């Protein structure tokens, strides 16, 4: 599936969940289609504050909160990639997680999007989390879901 002559571009969804941490372990242990020779991008999607909450704060303060959240989640997952010997570039975007991940994967011409089956959401689905289910429904890029 991923056997190409060039490095495969893999987008990894990062949300700070246990599933997201297991993705790094899975990628690092997979000698076959994965490994350090591919191009990895780590993306965290920060969900915007509800409008009434954000309206009472200065724009700079709200952006600082978003940036803090994004960097905190990314630091932990970046460290796991580093310990596994896998180079990764990372960033965060503001938006709805499923739509932002699918859009980023499609527009970034990624060969694969990897995400955890369940994230940090308060409402857990029995078999598959709501973000993973929505990504599977709307993403044109192939998706690998890690439990």
Does the pLDDT value for residue 146 go beyond 50?
Answer: yes
Buried b (16+ CB within 10 A) or exposed e, 17-32: bebbbebbebbbeeee
pLDDT tens per residue, range 49-92: 776 766 667 778 888 889 999 999 999 999 988 988 889 999 99
Residue 81 in any domain: the answer is: yes
SS3 of residue 6 by DSSP:
coil
Q: Give pLDDT, residue 105.
A: 97
Report pTM: 0.84
- Select the more confidently predicted residue: 36 or 38: 38
Residue 4 in any domain: the answer is: no
pLDDT tens per residue, range 99-129: 999 999 999 999 999 998 865 444 444 446 7
Does the pLDDT value for residue 4 go beyond 80?
Answer: no
- CATH number at 106 reads 3.40.50.620
Residue 91 per-residue DSSP state: E
- Give how many domains the chain has, as a whole number: 1
Q: Give pLDDT, residue 144.
A: 92
Residue 2 in any domain: the answer is: no
Residue 1 in any domain: the answer is: no
Residue 27 in any domain: the answer is: yes
Give the domain extent around 51: 9-146
Buried b (16+ CB within 10 A) or exposed e, 47-66: eeeeeeebeeeeeeebeeeb
Q: Give pLDDT, residue 130.
A: 83
């Amino acid at each position: 599936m991923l056997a190409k002559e060039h490095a495969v571009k893999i987008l990894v969804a990062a949300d700070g969940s246990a599933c997201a941490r297991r993705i790094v372990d899975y990628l690092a242990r997979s000698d076959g289609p994965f490994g350090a020779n591919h191009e990895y991008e780590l993306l965290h999607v920060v969900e915007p504050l509800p409008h009434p909450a954000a309206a009472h704060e200065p724009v700079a303060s709200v952006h600082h909160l978003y940036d803090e959240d994004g960097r905190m989640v990314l630091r932990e997952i970046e460290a796991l990639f580093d310990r596994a010997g896998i180079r990764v570039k990372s960033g965060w975007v503001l938006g709805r997680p499923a739509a932002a991940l699918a859009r980023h994967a499609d527009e970034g011409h990624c060969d694969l999007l990897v995400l955890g089956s369940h994230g940090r959401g308060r409402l857990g689905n029995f078999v598959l989390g709501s973000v993973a289910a929505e990504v599977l429904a709307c993403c044109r890029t192939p998706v690998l879901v890690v439990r």
